[in-house]
Amino acid sequence: MRSLLLEGSLLAYLIGTVAGGLALWRPRDGFRHATMLALLIGMVLQGSSILARSAASGGIVVRSFPEQVSFFCCLLVAVHLLAQLRFRLSVLTAVVGPLAFIGSLIGLVDQGAVANVPESFKSPWLPVHITLAFLGNAAFALSFLVSLAYLWQERQLKSRAISQWIRRLPALESLDRINFTFLSWGFVLLTLSILSAVVWAELSLGRFLAWEPRTTWSAIVWLIYAGLLHARVTVGWGGRRAATLTIIGFGVLFISFLGINMLTPGQHAVAYG
């Protein structure tokens, strides 16, 4: 059943990827709507599969790397669909589609038995913390993609060599604005996820926070994004510099997510096995 849900989402993402490519190639509303619908179906099926597994284990299931990737992709699609209500970003869709497909393909790998989780991990605060963190990461990932698009277009405009694909992108100003929106969403979600972690640690472990590598890195990421947003609001930092910093910020986030999680011991390492 769970595997069927995952396979269904995989198929939907595949359709979404193809339709997204077509929408980019021939910008028509039909392709756009088909893409959105396919991605929405894929997301719902994938989400259901994750929920089903979590219900079976009695706690949110993001223990293994494939599970994490699957969960992240599901939320990435969700945030992206939400953003599509406000902005038209067919280029972003064309990237998110394949990412979701690959993500759920990886998620299909680990369908082993569900291990029991320690008692402290059964607190309702933990799924809240993890979901907020992953949602924040999804928003940052989207701001990263938008920043890449910004730098790509800005470089072409500076060098006066405008390719046809560039014409599918929104204007620089729009990309900058969209980047700011994703950054704000991501920052709020990251802050909330850190707060929820504090609450969880207080309630479940009886202490404030353990300063293990993951927490430190989260603080660093938080500071980078805080500085970026602060500079933007106060001195109007935007454009190329903001895009570059967004990319650096996401790079740090990505390293801390992959590297620290997998290589170093600590609270999070315990949590994710």
Partner 1 sequence: MSEQKKNRIRPLRVSPTGKDPLEVWVVGINHETAPIELREKLAFPSGELGDLATRIIASTGAEEVVVLSTCNRVEILATGSQKLELAGPLTEFLSGEAAMRTADLNDHRYVYRGRDALKHLFRVASSLDSMVVGESQILGQLKEQFRIAADHDNVGSLLRRCFEHSFRVAKRVRNETEVATKAVSISSAAVDLARRIFDDLSGKTVMLIGAGQMSELAAKHFMGAGVRNLIVTNRSFDRGVELARRFDGTSVPFDRYQEYLPMVDIVLGSVAADGAILEREAIAPVLRGRRGRPMFLIDLGVPRNFDPTINQVDGCYLYDIDSLASVAQDHRAERAKEAAKAEVIIHEESDSFWEMLHGNDITPTIVALRGKLEGIRTSELDRAKTVLRRMDPEDREAMEAMTQAIVNKILHIPFSVLKDLAREQDAGGASEAKDFVHHLFELEMLYEDKSKGG
Positions that interact with partner 1 (CB under 8 A): 153, 157-158, 160-162, 164, 166-167, 170-174, 177, 232, 235-242
Nearest distance, CB of residue 160 and partner 1, angstroms: 4
Please, which residue, 167 or 207, has the CB nearer to partner 1? 167
How far apart, in Å, are the Cα atoms of 174 and each of 86, 108, 144, 149, 273? 12, 37, 15, 11, 42
Nearest distance, CB of residue 157 and partner 1, angstroms: 5
Please, are residues 70 and 104 in contact by the beta-carbon 8 Å criterion? yes
Find where tokens 């909330």 sit: 192
In angstroms, how far is the first alpha carbon of the chain from the final one? Answer: 25
Nearest distance, CB of residue 175 and partner 1, angstroms: 9
Please, which residue, 122 or 177, has the CB nearer to partner 1? 177
134 closest CA partner among 186, 182, 181, 180: 186
Interatomic CA distance for residues 192 and 203, integer angstroms: 16
Please, which residue, 26 or 160, has the CB nearer to partner 1? 160
Please, which residue, 37 or 247, has the CB nearer to partner 1? 247
Nearest distance, CB of residue 169 and partner 1, angstroms: 8
Nearest distance, CB of residue 83 and partner 1, angstroms: 16
Nearest distance, CB of residue 159 and partner 1, angstroms: 9
Please, which residue, 79 or 243, has the CB nearer to partner 1? 243
Q: Which residues contact 96 (CB under 8 A, 6 or more apart)?
A: 20, 39, 76, 77, 80, 142, 145
DSSP state of 87: -
Please, which residue, 153 or 256, has the CB nearer to partner 1? 153
Please, which residue, 232 or 268, has the CB nearer to partner 1? 232
Interatomic CA distance for residues 16 and 101, integer angstroms: 9
What six digits make up the tokens of 167?
């014409």
Give me the DSSP letters along 2-35.
Answer: HHHHHHHHHHHHHHHHHHHHHHHHS--HHHHHHH
Nearest distance, CB of residue 87 and partner 1, angstroms: 10
Amino acid at 203: L
